[in-house]
Amino acid sequence: MSAAAEVEARRIAALLGVPAAELGYLRSRGASALARLRLAIASAGMERHRRSFERLARASALLPTALAARIAQEHLGPVLIAALAPFLPPARAALLGQRLEPGFLADVAVHLVPDRAAPLLAALPPELLSTTLQQLLARGEYAVMGTVVEQLPATTVTRLAAEIADPAELLAIAAYVGDKRCLRPVVDSFDDNAILQLLGCAAEGAAMSALIELTAVLEPLQQRRLRSLLATLPEPSRRAWGEAAPTAALA
């Protein structure tokens, strides 16, 4: 069982309020399947309590931002705030977000249901996203970051990707991106050196499958660029690519 699957199984146990051992049978499932289950449970909970969350969102508008932020952190907690956030007007949620502690924001991000949060994510100021990104990177929350990428504007994804220095972390996040076509602008934004680092890192075994999936959905011009860069890598790296992806777009 992968470490990522272990983390997801523990998250589901925490969400359901049971000891992790009680859900031991989930550990044989893949991390992606477990992440989907966790988000489906959270999404169903949001629907079930939609009326309460809508009322809370309206009530929040009556409160000064600082007080609403204090209530969020001290009484509601990250799970409820993640469920409530999509019901808030995005501009109000962005204002509140700026009053929350970075660690709390990262906790909220972990529990956010990405496909419910697109308007909210688009409204968040760049500094807030950067701060949260750094918190999530420090925690190794690659699944959380990867599943949210499709809901972010392309310009935001490109800017945030530029803030991640470690190619292994970029690949770890890319592995959790569902539709990898949304990463095309990121590839264009990277200079040759950054691309070479990614290709070399993947050749060392770091999430090569994620990069193979990505290259398969790149535009022909992008694939040509990567092929020519791949040809400049040291022989062991080229061989690793040839063996791992003999029929892939870069072959």
Partner 1 sequence: MPPSALVTTLAALVLEPTVRARLQQLIEARFERQDAELMQAVEQALELVPGLLRGAVRRVLGL
44 versus 91: smaller Cβ distance to partner 1: 44
Q: Which stretch binds partner 1 (CB under 8 A): 3-11, 26-34, 141-149, 156-164?
A: 26-34
Contact call for residue 49 and partner 1 (CB under 8 A): yes
Contact call for residue 95 and partner 1 (CB under 8 A): no
111 versus 199: smaller Cβ distance to partner 1: 111
Listed in sequence order, the residues at least 6 apart from 55 whose beta carbon sits closer than 8 Å to its beta carbon are none
Contact call for residue 41 and partner 1 (CB under 8 A): yes
3-class secondary structure for the chain?
A: CCHHHHHHHHHHHHHHCCCHHHHHHHHHCCHHHHHHHHHHHHHHHHHHCHHHHHHHHHHHCCCCHHHHHHHHHHHHHHHHHHHHHHHCCHHHHHHHHCCCCHHHHHHHHHHCCHHHCHHHHHHCCHHHHHHHHHHHHHHCCHHHHHHHHHHCCHHHHHHHHHCCCCHHHHHHHHCCCCCHHHHHHHHHHCCHHHHHHHHHHHHCCCCHHHHHHHHHCCCHHHHHHHHHHHCCCCHHHHHHHHHHCCCCCCC
Least gap, CB of 189 to partner 1 (angstroms):
33
Binding to partner 1 (CB under 8 A): which residues in 113-132? none
Least gap, CB of 158 to partner 1 (angstroms):
30
26 versus 218: smaller Cβ distance to partner 1: 26
Least gap, CB of 85 to partner 1 (angstroms):
14
Contact call for residue 27 and partner 1 (CB under 8 A): no
Contact call for residue 178 and partner 1 (CB under 8 A): no
Which of 31, 80, 129, 245 is in the footprint of partner 1 by CB under 8 A?
80
Residues in contact with partner 1 by the rule CB under 8 A? 15-18, 22-23, 25-26, 29, 33, 36-37, 40-41, 43-45, 47-49, 52, 55-56, 58-59, 62-63, 67, 70-71, 74-77, 80
